[in-house]
């Protein structure tokens, strides 16, 4: 493959890996917060708020990754350099 395609493929692979990471964190973020409460790192009365903040952060990260992926695919379809 030409270097440009290799670079776009690498970027797309990293974006997919980012999506997978965010997905896995979203699946387990409530367990992570519960473990932090059990270890005394987070006060029990703040656990729900922390879960919501983490969920919002993960949603924002997912959105940024999705926008980046759409832009990358649009550039590749148009034949523009990265």
At 8-63, the pLDDT tens digits run 888 899 999 999 999 999 999 999 999 999 999 999 999 999 999 999 999 999 99
pLDDT value of position 59: 97
Looking at 1-82, list the stretches that DSSP marks H as alpha helix, in order from N- to C-terminal side.
3-38, 47-78
Res 82 pLDDT > 60: no
Among left, alpha and beta (phi > 0; psi -120 to 50; other), residue 80 is: beta
**How is residue 13 annotated by DSSP?**
H
Q: Which residues contact 50 (CB under 8 A, 6 or more apart)?
A: 33, 36, 42
Task: Find, among 12, 28, 27, the residue nearest to 65 by Cα.
Answer: 12
Most confident of 1-5, 67-71, 72-76: 67-71
């Amino acid at each position: 493959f030409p270097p440009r395609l290799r670079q776009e493929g690498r970027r797309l692979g990293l974006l997919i890996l980012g999506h997978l990471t965010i997905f896995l964190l979203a699946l387990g973020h409530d367990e992570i917060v519960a473990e932090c409460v059990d270890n005394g790192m987070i006060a029990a009365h703040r656990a729900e708020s922390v879960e919501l903040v983490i969920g919002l952060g993960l949603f924002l990260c997912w959105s940024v990754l999705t926008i980046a992926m759409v832009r990358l695919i649009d550039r590749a379809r148009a034949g523009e350099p990265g």
